[in-house]
């Protein structure tokens, strides 16, 4: 019995450790609510709440648009796939869904971080341990700013500061990802171009300077426009 408990504990510990941080993907995109059916099906309560929300707002599932993190094209087998966290626009309210994301190759070997090997060999994605909440706003994720537009600034300016910091963090992640994978940064396309356009601060200026020095041939022209 003791041995079994130890083995279970080790398995649980390994399972938790091999969770993949999808926020490091940087890219994000839209998807219809129906595309989340496999995720939503994992919770009867969530299915019930969604049905109720659709009924209250007199909407069809096809009317609801969601946002999620997106695997960039460098991922050989997963490019374009959306993963948690998600945010779905029901009109009067938003549904935010988070799940534990894990990725693995055909043999079941898991990847925790973004590496050249992970991008080449990962073929499977699983999303478990669902958590969700209903809110009046999309949230603070970068894809929310891109989707709903930059929110009106708070009287004390905290809204502006928070927005700029988030944009700077997202851009830094993008640059780090490009440097790690040897890719060519493209600042001319959404969502990165939108983050640059909506951000105008000393933080972004410093980020631009570092970007120009790190990728002088590929992004100096885009960043200094």
Number of domains in the chain: 2
Cα separation, 145 vs 167, whole angstroms: 9
- Whether the pLDDT of residue 42 is over 90: the answer is yes
Cα separation, 23 vs 20, whole angstroms: 9
pLDDT on residue 139: 86
Q: What is the mean pLDDT of the chain?
A: 75
Report if residue 175 sits inside a domain.
yes
Tokens matching residue 189: 């396309």
Identify the domain containing residue 28 by its residue range: 16-143
- Whether the pLDDT of residue 32 is over 60: the answer is yes
Given 103, 127, 143, the domain boundary residue is: 143
pLDDT tens-digit series, residues 106-131: 999 999 999 999 999 999 999 999 99
Report if residue 11 sits inside a domain.
no
Cα separation, 87 vs 138, whole angstroms: 6
pLDDT on residue 143: 80
134 backbone dihedrals φ, ψ, rounded to 5°: -100, 140
Cα separation, 97 vs 186, whole angstroms: 29
Which range among 8-12, 15-19, 77-81, 113-117 shows the weakest confidence by mean pLDDT?
8-12
Q: pTM of the prediction?
A: 0.63
Number of C-beta neighbours around residue 139 at 10 A = 16
Largest CA distance in the chain: 66
Report if residue 31 sits inside a domain.
yes
131 backbone dihedrals φ, ψ, rounded to 5°: -135, 140
Report if residue 184 sits inside a domain.
yes
pLDDT on residue 157: 46
Number of C-beta neighbours around residue 81 at 10 A = 16
Q: How confident is the model at residue 147 (pLDDT cuts 50, 70, 90)?
A: confident
Given 116, 143, 170, the domain boundary residue is: 143
Q: Say if residue 30 is exposed, middle or buried (CB neighbours under 10 Å; 0-12, 13-18, 19+).
A: middle
- Whether the pLDDT of residue 98 is over 80: the answer is yes
pLDDT on residue 155: 41
pLDDT tens-digit series, residues 186-206: 666 655 665 565 555 444 555
Report if residue 4 sits inside a domain.
no
pLDDT on residue 185: 63
Name the one residue in this structure whose structure tokens are 């960043």. Answer: 223
DSSP character at residue 153: P
15 backbone dihedrals φ, ψ, rounded to 5°: -60, -45
Kindly give, in sequence order, each residue whose CB lies less than 8 Å from that of residue 60, ignoring residues fewer than 6 positions away.
54
Same domain, 164 and 133: no
Cα separation, 221 vs 225, whole angstroms: 6
pLDDT average, residue stretch 34-59? 95
Same domain, 174 and 119: no
Same domain, 30 and 128: yes
Number of C-beta neighbours around residue 21 at 10 A = 11
Q: Return the higher-pLDDT residue of 155 and 104.
A: 104
Share of the chain above pLDDT 90, in %: 47
Q: How confident is the model at residue 220 (pLDDT cuts 50, 70, 90)?
A: very low
Report if residue 185 sits inside a domain.
yes
């Amino acid at each position: 019995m003791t041995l079994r408990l130890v083995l279970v504990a080790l398995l649980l510990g390994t399972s938790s450790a091999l969770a993949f941080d999808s926020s490091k993907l940087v890219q994000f995109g839209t998807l219809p609510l129906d595309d989340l059916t496999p995720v939503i099906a994992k919770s009867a309560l969530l299915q019930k709440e969604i049905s109720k929300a659709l009924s209250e707002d007199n909407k069809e599932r096809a009317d609801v648009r969601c946002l999620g993190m997106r695997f960039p094209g460098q991922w050989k087998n997963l490019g374009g796939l959306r993963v948690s966290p998600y945010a779905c626009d029901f009109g009067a309210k938003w549904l935010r869904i988070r799940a534990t994301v894990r990725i693995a190759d055909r043999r079941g070997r898991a990847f925790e971080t973004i590496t050249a090997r992970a991008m080449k060999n990962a073929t499977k994605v699983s999303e478990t341990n669902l958590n969700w909440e209903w809110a009046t706003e999309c949230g603070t994720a970068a894809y929310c700013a891109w989707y709903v537009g930059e929110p009106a600034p708070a009287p004390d300016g905290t809204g502006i500061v928070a927005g700029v910091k988030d944009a700077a963090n997202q851009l830094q992640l993008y640059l780090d990802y490009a440097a790690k994978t040897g890719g060519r940064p493209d600042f001319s396309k959404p969502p990165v171009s939108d983050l640059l356009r909506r951000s105008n601060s000393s933080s972004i200026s410093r980020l631009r300077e570092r970007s120009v020095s790190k990728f002088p041939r590929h992004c100096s022209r885009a960043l200094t426009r």
